[in-house]
Structure 1
Amino acid sequence: MAVQSAVKSSALLAAGSAALAVGYATVIERNAFVVREVTMPVLSPGSTPLRVLHLSDIHMLPTQRRKQAWLRELARWEPDLVVNTGDNLSHPKAVPAVVQAVGDLLSVPGVFVFGSNDYFAPKMKNPAKYLTDRDHRLHGSPLPWQDLRAAFTERGWLDLTHTKRDLEVAGLTIAAAGVDDAHLGRDRYDTIAGPANPTANLTLGVTHAPYTRVLDRFAADGYQLVMAGHTHGGQLCLPFYGAIVTNCDLDRSRAKGASRWGAETALHVSAGIGTSPFAPFRFCCRPEATLLTLVAAPTGGHDQTHGVVRSSPTASVR
């Protein structure tokens, strides 16, 4: 009888702990938005610092007022450039919410590409599939990505989908290029292939999903920095272990943050701001935007480090 009672107590304790963890991941951490600050030495020698705000995976629903209010505050960080790496939508009526939330940031120079959840709504799926099938896809109904594109471009942001553009930002020349979503197999790197402007202060590659085939092509063409999202930083992470999966063929150690890709290319992957409405939780992986301070590399891009990372809580948004 004592053994049965102990087993029952252990089961109740385990169930209670699981319920607390789910509650924390769903109610608290999913809404614990943070701005991370990262310094990356990637610019050409002699370049002045450039402040880049990286937004990704907003996954907006029209009813998400807390997320919208937090996004509206991001303009106070005064970036020189905004890079949006896609998955802005989760609902066919979310375009106005996204546009109003990014608000004043649309007056800042910006570039963007789209992800799968700009083209298609999320759909109920078995999340365990991603543990064994990183290429698992299940699409919902089409989303009004054309309306979002029109809203962004009308305010001056540049659509980098299969496009190469040189732009002047804060007195620096940025040679930027992007591809469509590799998770959907829409990437066509050959449309932008070839070295970027060698006289630019920064050569920047932009993609939604950081599949290695795309990263390898950017690196081969000599891009100093590639920016991506898609992974959600793993979304459900384990203490002292990190991300369990990346939802692509990128290794777990690069699921979020700054790293190197090859000898001369830096990579930054955003852990993202939102989640699918069918998996509304995060654990050990707070939703984030990232303010990258890009500075001159000491040897012209050949000595890039992983960056100096400092986390700033929501309350410290200036």
Structure 2
Amino acid sequence: MNLLFVADALDHFKTYKDTTFAMMREAQRRGHVLFACGPQDLHWRSGGSVQARLRQVTLTGRSGKDVHDWFEAGPELVRHLASFDAVVMRKDPPFDSEYFYATHLLERAEAEGARVFNSPRALRDHPEKLAILEFPQFTPPTLVTRAAADVREFHAEHRDIILKPLDGMGGMGIFRVKDDGLNLGSIIETLNRDGAQTIMVQRFLPAIEAGDKRVLVIGGEPVSHCLARIPQGGEVRGNLAAGGKGVAQPISARDEEIARTIGAVLAPRGLMLIGLDVIGDNLTEINVTSPTGFQEITNQTGVDVAALFVDALETGARRG
């Protein structure tokens, strides 16, 4: 198959842990031909179809923390997205206006025959913080609001809460306010910008001490092991980007229940790859833009997550 990866600049990849790199490595191992571009390389002109300025990419077999020559790129080409067997959208968050525009171009490409994973419409329809609203049976007490009074009322009820912006990533902008309410007003003002911005508030879950689990769902099926991201040094955030320690472990019966229920709903909508954030028995986020954790799980357990993904990608491309 000819595969196009829409991603961030390849020369910025940290190949020792990057999930998109793991996908590409497995795809090349199977004999698939790889191409890459960024969202900024997509374009459309009236009378034509969605195209991209792109390059064919060959992996050199080298990777690691200090390796930068892990790929070789051919000359720039311009090709219709519909000419590929599959287009893999792997642009990292944030989900800003440019990401939004890219999903519209990718959706137009779908109408022209392209097969895009994850579906661009589904990416737009499932913002990573708000997607949990569809599954309240799995979530902790949660509030979504702009109003400071709502947050104060929620804190008065639950006494220990987490506040976070809806567009955050990697643990950015997350605050904990305990029973004493210290700095609650200042934190609300910082996050909601005096009522101009919607935020999410959740009851604090003490189970975070055992890790914020990243449970992967591929083609509607949960991966057998998850990555527990354990906070370090007094941090409340387990995100690896915030210094959390990643420990792979088998998924629990509750993890599997959550993953199978959500996978059965979201996979048919075009979300081939989903990353659920689970603390204890509670679902806190549904990641759909660029879920990670493949290499950490594989390196620690031997479960080849990239192979599971490429299996699903091959199946999805054939169905298309």
Confirm or deny a common fold (TM above 0.5): no
Higher helix share: 2
TM-score by length of 2: 0.30
